[in-house]
């Protein structure tokens, strides 16, 4: 998660905590907080420093910062680049797709996870899901 | 890649949107969750819920599982992003404006609204320092002319109660958006089966679900639907959604929740502080009502059209104001915005004025004499002797409630019986 904040009232902190609760491992990237820990995970200054295999890069940064992050994501072998609500960069997205990555823009993985798993409906949101099957618990 | 299945039709959505079999019991109908509060897993779970960091139920003033089903269903039928259900139509209007108005702010409304809304906006909202300017909506430019720097929104009814005025939604939406204003439409009288205001540019849709959505005259309720399309950050008018909210550790709703900002704010701040919560039983009755909305509306408008055409030819009737009649000045707008029919509430003038109006409401046997609309039952009222009796005759005429005006809400009984009852009532009224 590039742009992860150590401040508990920031949107990135909400998303990281929620995704951890759902069983994902989230590695925070934030040069200002390098070496510290956020929600029990060591913070890296740069995507390139992360030794682990990365499935998805979640970008909590302004659109101008996206191209450089996408280049690193491609180098790191990520399968998905995800830009948060309000973040969109079509040229960087095209480059990532040309390199075989999947791209999501201007969405939040926390909101999409909850939408697909019935939790968002608890807040009165139109989830677009019609099914006669029991919802999972 | 698998092909995307076609989007479900309106009738399918009216029955299924928002509802799924209960995860624990398999109950197919939506259970009535008659509970005030919900247990936390542990302290951390409670903290995440209170911080809005995770989804879940805390306390039914904010959210309730039965009410949530209704919210998602209406949001879906209106083509919106999310919805907030509340205790009544008036509570929906209050909550909608509360989400962005500050003392000293202004909004512009059509002067042809449900009388209760004119009073709510013109009198009670003044106590919050919210100023409503009323304009004649027949000329959309009247809205543009009334815009001031303090103005934040434009409010209209898609089909007005009881005057049957239809406004040019698309043009008024353009005027609102050019000025960075929110466009709010009360779609109560039309229902989403007949009119979809968001297709024409509405940002918020409000309803009194008391009327056609619940449809059986047995449950009060209201709902605010957000299209999710309005850019709250385009100017500095909508600070409650863009600036830090102190009561939630300086969270900014728009930044954190994006197109869900108003839906989350409406529960987390609006319902928390206004407290106008819908009861789960009323949500259940309304969910059940909506399942037959398409069928009921088809019959409501067919019956209303037949009654209007009959009254137009009736010797005891001087005029009929129903946009489904080709003679109506709103007929062209009705064909564009209400293609499935001009609703089932309208007014007509009875020859013989005040006395004849009073005699008619007392003579009918099938029509119920009461102050409501949108019931399975046919309803009648003579505004000058009831809802508008405090006004002078001049004021009554200006409000479309002159001495000869009778309002009907055509129900779902056999059409021959509806027309037969009006005929015998009018005959008695003419005999005096
Ligand atoms: C068009 C319209 N809007 C709002 C309302 C207010 O709704 P409620 O009575 O549910 O508060 C009504 C009620 O008659 C109405 O007709």
Q: Which residue of A has its CA nearest to B13?
A: A130
Of 3.90.1150.10, 3.40.50.720, 3.30.160.110, 1.10.3720.10, the CATH number of B293-431 is 3.90.1150.10
Q: Report yes or no on A135 lying in a domain.
A: no
Domain with residue A80: its CATH number is 3.40.50.720
The structure's pTM equals 0.94
**B108 in Cβ contact with B151 (< 8 Å):** yes
Res B1: pLDDT:
45
Over residues B143-162, the mean pLDDT reads 96
Q: Report yes or no on A32 lying in a domain.
A: yes
A76-86: pLDDT as tens digits? 999 999 999 98
Res B390: pLDDT:
82
Q: Report yes or no on A93 lying in a domain.
A: yes
- Long-range contacts for B136-144 (Cβ within 8 Å, ≥24 apart)? B136/B110, B136/B111, B136/B112, B137/B110, B137/B111, B137/B112, B137/B165, B137/B167, B137/B172, B138/B165, B138/B167, B140/B167, B140/B168, B140/B171, B140/B172, B140/B175, B141/B175, B143/B108, B143/B172, B143/B175, B143/B176, B144/B175, B144/B179
Q: Report yes or no on A122 lying in a domain.
A: no
B8 in contact with A at a CB cutoff of 8 Å? yes
Which fold does the domain B10-289 belong to in CATH? 3.40.640
Res B3: pLDDT:
66
B88 in contact with A at a CB cutoff of 8 Å? no
A105-135: pLDDT as tens digits? 999 999 999 998 888 888 899 999 999 998 8
Q: Report yes or no on A137 lying in a domain.
A: no
Give B72's contacts in chain A (Cβ within 8 Å). Answer: 121, 124-127
A16-66: pLDDT as tens digits? 999 999 999 999 999 999 999 999 999 999 999 999 999 999 999 999 999
Number of compact structural domains in chain A: 1
The range of the structural domain enclosing residue A62 comes to 11-117
Over residues A68-82, the mean pLDDT reads 97
Over residues B338-352, the mean pLDDT reads 97
B412-430: pLDDT as tens digits? 999 999 999 999 999 999 9
In the three-class reduction of DSSP (H, G, I as helix; E, B as strand; rest coil), residue B2 is classed as coil
Q: Report yes or no on A124 lying in a domain.
A: no
B223-245: pLDDT as tens digits? 999 999 999 999 999 999 999 99
Q: Report yes or no on A87 lying in a domain.
A: yes
**B216 in Cβ contact with B373 (< 8 Å):** no
A87 in contact with B at a CB cutoff of 8 Å? no
* pLDDT of B432 over the 80 cut: no
pLDDT, chain A, mean: 94
Q: Report yes or no on A19 lying in a domain.
A: yes
Q: Which of B212, B223, B213, B194 is nearest to B379 (CA)?
A: B212
Give A20's contacts in chain B (Cβ within 8 Å). Answer: none
**A14 in Cβ contact with A110 (< 8 Å):** yes
Q: Which of B369, B363, B256, B386 is nearest to B316 (CA)?
A: B363
**Confidence band, pLDDT 50/70/90 cuts, at residue B106:** very high
Residue with CA closest to ligand 1 atom 9: B89
């Amino acid at each position: 998660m590039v742009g992860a904040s150590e401040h508990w009232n920031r949107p990135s902190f909400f998303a990281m905590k929620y995704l951890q609760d759902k069983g994902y491992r989230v590695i925070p990237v934030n040069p200002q907080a390098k070496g510290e820990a956020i929600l029990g995970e060591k913070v890296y200054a740069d995507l390139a420093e992360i030794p682990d295999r990365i499935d998805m890069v979640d970008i909590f940064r302004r659109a101008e910062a996206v191209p450089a992050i996408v280049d690193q994501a491609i180098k790191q072998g990520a399968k998905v680049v995800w830009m948060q609500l309000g973040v969109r960069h079509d040229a960087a997205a095209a480059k990532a797709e040309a390199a075989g990555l999947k791209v999501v823009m201007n969405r939040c993985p926390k909101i999409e996870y909850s939408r697909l798993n019935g939790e968002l409906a608890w807040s009165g949101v139109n989830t677009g899901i019609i099914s006669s099957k029991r919802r999972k618990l | 890649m698998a092909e995307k299945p076609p989007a479900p039709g309106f009738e399918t959505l009216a029955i299924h949107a928002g509802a799924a079999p209960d995860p624990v019991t398999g109950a197919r109908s939506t259970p009535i969750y008659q509970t005030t509060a919900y247990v936390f897993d542990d302290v951390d779970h409670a903290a995440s819920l209170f911080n809005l960091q995770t989804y879940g139920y805390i306390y039914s003033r904010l959210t309730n599982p039965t009410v949530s089903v209704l919210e998602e269903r209406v949001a879906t039928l209106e083509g919106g992003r999310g919805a907030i259900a509340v205790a009544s139509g008036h509570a929906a209007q209050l909550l909608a404006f509360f989400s962005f108005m500050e003392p000293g702010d202004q909004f512009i409304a059509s002067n042809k609204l449900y009388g209760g809304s004119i009073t709510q906006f013109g009198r009670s909202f003044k106590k919050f320092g919210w100023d409503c300017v009323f304009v004649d909506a027949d000329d959309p430019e009247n809205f543009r002319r009334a815009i001031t720097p303090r103005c934040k929104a434009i409010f209209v009814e898609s089909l007005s109660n009881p005057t049957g005025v239809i406004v040019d939604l698309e043009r008024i939406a353009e005027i609102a958006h050019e000025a960075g204003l929110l466009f709010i439409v009360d779609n109560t009288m039309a229902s989403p089966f007949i009119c979809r205001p968001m297709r024409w540019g509405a940002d918020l849709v409000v309803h009194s679900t008391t009327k056609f959505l619940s449809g059986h005259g047995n449950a009060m309720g209201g709902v605010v639907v957000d299209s999710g399309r309005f850019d709250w950050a385009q100017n500095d008018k909508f600070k409650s959604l863009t600036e830090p909210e102190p009561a939630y550790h300086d969270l900014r709703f728009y930044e954190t929740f994006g197109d869900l900002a108003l839906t989350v704010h409406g529960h987390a701040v609006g319902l928390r502080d206004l407290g106008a919560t819908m009861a789960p039983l009323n949500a259940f009755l309304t969910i059940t009502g909506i399942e037959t909305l398409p069928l009921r509306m088809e019959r409501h408008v067919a019956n209303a059209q037949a009654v209007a055409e009959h009254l137009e030819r009736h010797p005891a009737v001087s005029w009929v104001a129903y946009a489904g009649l080709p003679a109506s000045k709103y007929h062209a707008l009705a064909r564009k915005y209400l293609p499935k029919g001009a609703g089932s509430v309208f007014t007509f003038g009875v020859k013989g004025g005040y006395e004849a109006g009073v005699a008619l409401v007392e003579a009918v046997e099938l029509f119920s004499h009461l102050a409501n609309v949108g019931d399975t039952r046919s309803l009648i009222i003579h505004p000058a002797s009831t809802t508008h009796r405090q006004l002078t005759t001049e004021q009554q005429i200006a409000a479309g409630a002159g001495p000869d005006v009778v309002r009907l809400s055509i129900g779902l009984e056999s059409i021959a019986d509806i027309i037969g009852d009006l005929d015998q009532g009018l005959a008695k009224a003419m005999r005096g």
